[in-house]
Structure 1
């Protein structure tokens, strides 16, 4: 965007914000009054608060945030215009934005027009870009009037349809572009029988209808050895096999091509193998016990034994003190008298 176009747009946006806030200020102060002790006397002797300068000042003070230089500069520079409109033009020109931004400051244009002379956008000011896009500079004194089309539309006038859309209704001033069936790259209608060309992942059948390609039926499979293929419309995805499987055709332990180490086939489902129940012991060292785990097992020392240098040796008993020996002699080893 050029600096000139940006300046026009910024000035118009600032002016629009000011007039919007002015109208909000009118609403905010609609039920207020002078706030003195004798409002009736003040309004009879001075003026009605509704049309007073005091009310105008209260509204003007709330038009800009303190940090907005552009807004405050525009208000300070043109404060007399607000007084003119408030006291002399409001009845005849109730639309403040039109009077202040478009006709007086000339920083904005009416909707549907653009440029220094407020020329009509392509398609006319009532329906810029034939209702299917945005006119460059719309509502400002900038821009070149060119259309940026909405999704689904293209061309200088936004009357043509992009690939993946077809023209449901079309004349010189109106176009309605509707999405093709998901299988179509281009089409002349809404169904998969109306495709001019199929999308990738789809193919024509004998009836010239675009149907899904089942990538998962290909040999070899497009997925890795530890994955299974899941077909989707127009594509596919690769999913991880269950950890009990060595290769699979689908999700779960019942879709394994073979069982992983530590698992065995039980009526078509890969199930944990209990190595500890085998006829041949798997924990062969003295004083060892076998504990089964999922897909494996561990060898641990039996109760009362502990591992030292790879062997299970008896856990040492705490040495008896003289006091404990005397106690056992007088009370017995189990505490009886």
Structure 2
């Protein structure tokens, strides 16, 4: 039996840790490359906004015409450039400010020498000069074409990882409905309406199909759960509510839906039901009676033999039941209805008790 000694085990651990560190560095490196391009793109967009914002400004001095004649035009001046550069980054954005500071001379070069020939600042600065971005449809250090080609990355059916940056893997993240390395295949529930080596259009199957070759319920290769194939080989809804016994509880009724069903509570007046409402009861609950096909409350208080028989007691009807309450002027005491004490008599009783106490 082979065994690993202490030094060998430590070496294996160190190797494992080193692999993890390198892996994390690789992931962080790709993330930094994508982040650098995002920052550069934002700088370019802010530069264009600043350019538009300063379009109609001037030196702001007392004699603008003289300054432009003797010095330079504000339109192409260094002053205007500095005003634009100062507004490129938020003060809290470290990465943006660092990039602008490191490459400030490039803005001057472009402004005074390259702007006319290279009007697209993002392309000249981010892609061709500091090389943190790639052209649309390409990715990675060498700006390789995305899967499917740079004109239609992922054949137009997904997103290319790292597209437009010097990072990413170039792999496709397919849009909903599509799958596969090239985003040309359809997921379950979709079918290829059009398909060739470079183009694919996936459309949704009929709601009854798990897989299909067309748009109708007769084009299903396989029916979804809750559907079944009929004599015409079409997927049709299974009515679970017709099953015996019912899939629902005794105090519920079954409501069929396409591909499924749901159980709903019966009306409280019902003992079992076939649908919603007191007229869909299979039988009436206790305290209710069938009145022309509808379960209605039984007024126990109107029965020939009243249910409340104690002295000074009255019957109060409730939905599905009744209550025995004391008549007006009486209150319940020890399960009996006794007369409610009158305020005057209560005061006299208190006075008598007080006199008796003084005599004692």
Using the size of structure 1 for normalisation, the TM-score is 0.91
| Gapped regions of structure 1 (runs ≥ 5) | 323-337
**How many angstroms does 1:49 deviate by?**
2.3
Deviates more, 1:41-50 or 1:270-279: 41-50
Equivalent residue for 1:253?
278
Query: Could you tell me which residue of structure 2 aligns to residue 333 of structure 1?
Result: none
The structural deviation recorded for 1:27 is 1.9
CA deviation vs aligned residue, 1:311-334 (integer Å, no higher than 9, x gap):
111121222789xxxxxxxxxxxx
1:251-290 alignment, distance < 5 Å: 251-290=276-315
Which deviates the most, 204-213 or 41-50?
41-50
- Measure, in 1, the Cα distance between the counterparts of 2:103 and 2:336: 97
Q: Return 182-191 or 149-158, whichever deviates more.
A: 149-158
Please give the per-residue CA displacement for 1:286-320, whole angstroms capped at 9, x wherever unaligned: 11122222222222211111222221111212227
Q: 1:225 aligns with which of 250, 267, 273?
A: 250
Q: Does 1:197 align with 2:233?
A: no
> What are the superposed Cα offsets for residues 22-43 of structure 1, whole Å, 9 maximum, x if unpaired?
1111222223223333333333
* TM-score relative to the length of structure 2: 0.86
**Structure 1 residue aligned with 2:141:** 116
The question of 1:243 aligning with 2:268 is answered yes
- 1:45 positional shift: 3.1
Of 68, 77, 82, which residue of structure 2 is paired with 1:43?
A: 68
Per-residue CA deviations over 1:173-232 (Å, capped at 9, x if unaligned) read: 111111110101111110000111111111000000000011111111111111111111
SS at match of 1:87: helix
Distance 1:308 1:274 in 2: 27
Between 179-188 and 285-294, the greater mean CA deviation after superposition: 285-294
Superposition RMSD in Å: 1.6
Matched, 1:162 2:187: yes
1:39 and 1:274 map into 2 onto residues whose CA distance is 99
Count how many residue pairs are aligned between Structure 1 and Structure 2.
322
Structure 1 residue 48: deviation in Å? 2.4
CA distance in 2, matches of 1:159, 1:86: 45
SS in 1 for 2:58: coil
**Equivalent residue in structure 2 for 1:25, among 18, 25, 50:** 50
Aligned counterpart, 2:30:
5
Bigger mean CA offset, 77-86 vs 32-41: 32-41
Residue 52 (str. 1) matches residue 70 (str. 2):
no
- Tell me if 1:176 matches 2:230: no
| Distance verdict in 2 for CA 1:295–1:35, change over 3 Å | farther
Match of 2:87 among 36, 56, 62: 62
Cα distance between partner residues in 1 of 2:255 and 2:129: 66
Q: Mark the runs of 5 or more structure 2 residues left unpaired by the alignment.
A: 1-25, 349-360
The within-5 A match list for 1:83-162 is 83-162=108-187
